Amino acid sequence: MTDNSHGGVSVVNTLFAHNAWANLKLLNFCEQLSDAQLDTATVGGYGTIRDTLVHIIGGEISYVKRTNGRMPPTPLQRGQLPSFAVLKEAATWASDEMLQLALSAQSDTLVEERDDTSKAEYPLASLMVQAITHSTEHRTQIASIITQLGMEPPDMSGWMYMEETKQYRESAL
């Protein structure tokens, strides 16, 4: 994490670091599941665990691409299920790119998308809100499927993030 101009850890850095940590934590957990478990879905979710993982990481890549046209070294191929190694590499790349986009966003920074028939425009800061909430929602859906499979999903909470990154310290008085 980098320091902001006030000498502390930036809230933006921490939000995106947590998102990256939670994505990798979930990918590492799911990598141990069987194909049958990865192909499990639940009512109200996006789809199977496997499809939802690809959707999360693909979404993060799309936010970067919409903004600056960049793609990861090994892009995800539509209609193909990538390996966990490729998903983790893409997740790490997207997290780094999104953090840089979030740090560069000003209140008036706009993303502009065009196709042959229309143009869309929206604040980059709002797209970064979408990025964080989108991933969080779908990680929660996967955690629900894992619970329905009779397993304990990984703890992806802010508390666990603080513990694992040694930010949470407790001592006797």
- pLDDT tens digits for range 26-36: 999 999 999 99
Domains in the chain: ranges and CATH: 11-103+118-157 (1.20.120.450)
Cβ neighbours for 23, distance < 8 A, ≥ 6 positions apart = 56, 57, 60, 91, 95, 135, 139
The structure's pTM equals 0.89
Buried b (16+ CB within 10 A) or exposed e, 142-152: bbebbeeeeee
Examine the pLDDT at 5 and tell me if it is beyond 50. no
Indicate the pLDDT class of residue 171, thresholds 50, 70 and 90: confident
- pLDDT tens digits for range 59-81: 999 999 999 999 998 888 887 78
